C-alpha cells in the first residue's frame, strides 16, 4: 500500500462534516498520528534531533507505564548502543522536561520511575488514545444500532490523522508501531464506509471507495463495499467489472482467487438480487454482537502507577491460554487498601484486546453467585428464562463461553463457594479473582496462580505522590517523601489520601504533612478520606472476623510494631501455644498479619503492617476493658 497515494483519500474522509481540531486541552497535546508533534495552548513546541524524538516516541507509545532504561536504549539504538547510551538518554529526558517547562507546563510530565521513566498523561492528551476511544465508541453505537452517530464518531477519529503515523521518527520500533497504527486507521476507514452504506450514502462514497480500492487492491472488504455501492447506485456493469479486475489482480499478484464473500456478492449481482451489507460488513450481525460481546470492566484507576513486576507475572501466566488447556486463573490477594482491585482492573483493560469475545466483571459483595450468573447470562446474550438453581445457570453460562476467549474479573471474593459456579471450562477464557480469603479449595481443584500484592516500594510510593500532586513537592526532599510513604504504610489508598491533603494545602511541603502525621494522635483518621477509606475497609475486615479472632486482632496490637512469635502472642492472649498459632494463622490468612521469617530457633515470626496495627490498637482502646472470652475450639490449619 503506497501511503503517498492513499493519504489524500484519508484526508477527504476524515475532514468530512467535522472540525479538524477539538478544543485544546489545558496541558500538553501530543500527536503521533502523523509527524510527531507537541503543542501547548495551540503553539507547536520544537522537539529537535532524531534521538530526542525517538525517546519521546518510545515514552508516548507506553504512556502511563514505566519504560526501563534498557528498553529505551534498545529502541533508540536498535541493539547497538554506544557506551554513553545511558547518559545520552538522561540528557534527552532533561531536555524534554526543559522544553515542557519553558512552554509553561511546570508540573513533571516525565517522571523518574525505577527502572527508567514514565510519561504521565494526567492533564495532557495523546491523539492515538483519543482515536482509539472514538473507534471504541463507534463500535458501541453500532452495536446499539445507531449508525449515524457511529459514523460521526469515526469521522472525528479519522480527522485526528495528519499523515502516516510517527512521521519523522526513524527507528525500527517506530516503524513497527506506525504500521500497527496505520492498519488501525485503515480498519476505521472500512468500518466508516460500511456505516455510510448502511445509511444509504451509496453514491457519495463511490469516489472515495474507487480511490481506496485503486490504492489497496488486495483489501477484499473495500472491494466488496465498492461493488455494493456501484450496484445500489444503478451501476451494475461497473460492479461486475470491479469484481473481474480484482480477480485478475489477485491471481497475478498472489496466485489466489478472491474470497468466497466477494464471489457470493458477484453471483447475487449477476442474478440481479439486491445484496445486503452484512457479509463483510459490521452492521448485519450487530444485534448478536451487542448481546454476545460484553464489555463490563469499570474505569481504570486514573492514578494507577507501578506494579510492573506484578503485571509482567500476570502477562506470563494469563495470556498463554489456548482451547486445549484449562482456563487460566489468577488470584490477587493482599491487605485492605493495598490496590488489588486497581491492579486487576488496570491489567484487564491492558489485556482486553486479547479477549475479543468480551470482558465480564462482578463485585461479589453486591450479589450472590446466582445473581452474578444471571447478570453474566444476559450479558452473553441469553434471553431465555433465567434458571433458579446455580448449577443449572452455571451449565448454561459455561456453554455460552465454550470456544470463546472471554476475560472474567471476580472482585472481592470471600470464599470458594462464591466463585465455583463462575469458573468457565473453556480453555480460551481467563479468570482474575481478587480477595483476602485463603480460597484453599480453589487452589486444590484448579491450577491457580496466587499473587500477593505487596505494599508499594519507596520508588512506587514517590511515583504515586508525584502522579497525584503533579508538582515538584514529591521530588523536592526525597527523605521526606520516603518518610511519608512509611507513615502511610506504603498503602496506595493511604498515600492518595495524603496526596489529597497536600492538593488542598498548596502551601504545605511534604515535610509539613510528615510532621503533622508524626504528632497526630490518630494517624489513621488523618489518612482516611471518604466512605471507602482505609479505616472503613479495616472496619469491614474487623466485622468479618470470628469473635475469638477479633479479640486476638485487638490484643496483639499490644505487641507494638516489632515482630513477634507465637509464644509472645500466647502470653498476650492468655492461651496455650497451639491456640495462639491458630489465631495468628487466621489473621495471616485474612491479610491482617504477615509472616516475616523465622527466629534463630526455627519458629515463625510475624509482624503488623503499620496502619493495620494502628487500627487494631484503636479497636482495643474503643473496646475498653476486655475480658478474655471462654476458650473455644479452633480448627487446625493444614
List pLDDT tens digits, range 102-155.
988 888 899 998 888 999 988 899 999 999 999 999 988 888 878 888 999 999
Q: How far is CA 199 from the centre of its chain?
A: 34
534-623: what fold?
A: Arc Repressor Mutant, subunit A (1.10.10)
d(CA 339, CA 453): 7
Nearest to 66 by CA among 467, 367, 351, 357: 467
CATH 1.25.40.10 placement within the chain: 129-164+176-286
129-164+176-286: what fold?
A: 1.25.40
d(CA 401, CA 321): 14
293-444 homologous superfamily: P-loop containing nucleotide triphosphate hydrolases (3.40.50.300)
Q: Give the Å distances, CA to CA, from 75 to 38, 64, 72, 85.
A: 21, 18, 5, 11
d(CA 150, CA 194): 11
- Which pLDDT score is estimated for 13? 61
Write the CB contacts of 612 (distance below 8 Å, at least 6 apart in sequence): 335, 336, 489, 538, 592, 593
d(CA 56, CA 65): 13
Mark the ranges of the chain whose per-residue pLDDT is less than 50: 16-24, 278-291, 625-638
CATH 3.40.50.300 placement within the chain: 293-444
559 DSSP assignment: G
- Which pLDDT score is estimated for 10? 59
CATH 1.10.10.10 placement within the chain: 3-127, 534-623
- Which pLDDT score is estimated for 8? 65
Provide the grid cell at 274: 439486491
Nearest to 433 by CA among 515, 343, 358: 343
- Which pLDDT score is estimated for 20? 37
163 DSSP assignment: S
Coil, strand, or helix at residue 310? helix
Q: What is the CATH number of domain 3-127?
A: 1.10.10.10
Amino acid at each position: 500500500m503506497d501511503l503517498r497515494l492513499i493519504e489524500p483519500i484519508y484526508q477527504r474522509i476524515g475532514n468530512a462534516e467535522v472540525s479538524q481540531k477539538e478544543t485544546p486541552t489545558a496541558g500538553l497535546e501530543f500527536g503521533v498520528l502523523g509527524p510527531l508533534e507537541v503543542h501547548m495552548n495551540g503553539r507547536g513546541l520544537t522537539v529537535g534531533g532524531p534521538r530526542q524524538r525517538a525517546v519521546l516516541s518510545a515514552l508516548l507509545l507506553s504512556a502511563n507505564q514505566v519504560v526501563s532504561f534498557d528498553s529505551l536504549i534498545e529502541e533508540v539504538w536498535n541493539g547497538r548502543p554506544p557506551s554513553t547510551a545511558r547518559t545520552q538518554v538522561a540528557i534527552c529526558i532533561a531536555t524534554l522536561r526543559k522544553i515542557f517547562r519553558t512552554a509553561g507546563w511546570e508540573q513533571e510530565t516525565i517522571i523518574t520511575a525505577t527502572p527508567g521513566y514514565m510519561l504521565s498523561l494526567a492533564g495532557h492528551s495523546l491523539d492515538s488514545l483519543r482515536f482509539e476511544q472514538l473507534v471504541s465508541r463507534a463500535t458501541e453505537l453500532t452495536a446499539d444500532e445507531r449508525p449515524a452517530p457511529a459514523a460521526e464518531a469515526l469521522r472525528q477519529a479519522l480527522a485526528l490523522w495528519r499523515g502516516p503515523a510517527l512521521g519523522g521518527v526513524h527507528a525500527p520500533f517506530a516503524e513497527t508501531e506506525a504500521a500497527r497504527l496505520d492498519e488501525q486507521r485503515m480498519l476505521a476507514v472500512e468500518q466508516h464506509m460500511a456505516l455510510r452504506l448502511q445509511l444509504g450514502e451509496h453514491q457519495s462514497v463511490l469516489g472515495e471507495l474507487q480511490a481506496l480500492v485503486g490504492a489497496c487492491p488486495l483489501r477484499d472488504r473495500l472491494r466488496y463495499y465498492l461493488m455494493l455501492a456501484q450496484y445500489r447506485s444503478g451501476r451494475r456493469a461497473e460492479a461486475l467489472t470491479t469484481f473481474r479486475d480484482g480477480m485478475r489482480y489477485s491471481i497475478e499478484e498472489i496466485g489466489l482467487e478472491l474470497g468466497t464473500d466477494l464471489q457470493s456478492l458477484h453471483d447475487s449481482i449477476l442474478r440481479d438480487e439486491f445484496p445486503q451489507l452484512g457479509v463483510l460488513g459490521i452492521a448485519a450481525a450487530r444485534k448478536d454482537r451487542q448481546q454476545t460481546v460484553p464489555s463490563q470492566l469499570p474505569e481504570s484507576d486514573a492514578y494507577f502507577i507501578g506494579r510492573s513486576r506484578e503485571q509482567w507475572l500476570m502477562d506470563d501466566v494469563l495470556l498463554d491460554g489456548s482451547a486445549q488447556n484449562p482456563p487460566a486463573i489468577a488470584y490477587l490477594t493482599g491487605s485492605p487498601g493495598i490496590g488489588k482491585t486497581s491492579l486487576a482492573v488496570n491489567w484487564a483493560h491492558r489485556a482486553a484486546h486479547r479477549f475479543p469475545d468480551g470482558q465480564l466483571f462482578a463485585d461479589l459483595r453486591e450479589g450472590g453467585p446466582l445473581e452474578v450468573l444471571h447478570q453474566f447470562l444476559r450479558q452473553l446474550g441469553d434471553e431465555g428464562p433465567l434458571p433458579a438453581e446455580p448449577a443449572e445457570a452455571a451449565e448454561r453460562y459455561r456453554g455460552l463461553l465454550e470456544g470463546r476467549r472471554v476475560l472474567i474479573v471476580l472482585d472481592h471474593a470471600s470464599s470458594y463457594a462464591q466463585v465455583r459456579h463462575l469458573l468457565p471450562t473453556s480453555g480460551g477464557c481467563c479468570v482474575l479473582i481478587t480477595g483476602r480469603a485463603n480460597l484453599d479449595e480453589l487452589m486444590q481443584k484448579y491450577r491457580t496462580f496466587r499473587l500477593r500484592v505487596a505494599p508499594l516500594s519507596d520508588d512506587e510510593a514517590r511515583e504515586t505522590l508525584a502522579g497525584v500532586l503533579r508538582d515538584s513537592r514529591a521530588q523536592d526532599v526525597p527523605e521526606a517523601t520516603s518518610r511519608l510513604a512509611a507513615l502511610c504504610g506504603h498503602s496506595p489508598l493511604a498515600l492518595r489520601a495524603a496526596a489529597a491533603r497536600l492538593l488542598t494545602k498548596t502551601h504545605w511541603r511534604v515535610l509539613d504533612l510528615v510532621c503533622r502525621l508524626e504528632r497526630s494522635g490518630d494517624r489513621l483518621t488523618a489518612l482516611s478520606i471518604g466512605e471507602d477509606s482505609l479505616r472503613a475497609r479495616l472496619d469491614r475486615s474487623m466485622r468479618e472476623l470470628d469473635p475469638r479472632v477479633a479479640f486476638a486482632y485487638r490484643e496483639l496490637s499490644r505487641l507494638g510494631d516489632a515482630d513477634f512469635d507465637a509464644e509472645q502472642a500466647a502470653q498476650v492472649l492468655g492461651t496455650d501455644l497451639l491456640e495462639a498459632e491458630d489465631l495468628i494463622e487466621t489473621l495471616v490468612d485474612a491479610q491482617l498479619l504477615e509472616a516475616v521469617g523465622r527466629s534463630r530457633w526455627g519458629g515463625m515470626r510475624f509482624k503488623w503492617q503499620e496502619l493495620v496495627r494502628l487500627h487494631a490498637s484503636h479497636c482495643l482502646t474503643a473496646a475498653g476493658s476486655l475480658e478474655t472470652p471462654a476458650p473455644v475450639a479452633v480448627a487446625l490449619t493444614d
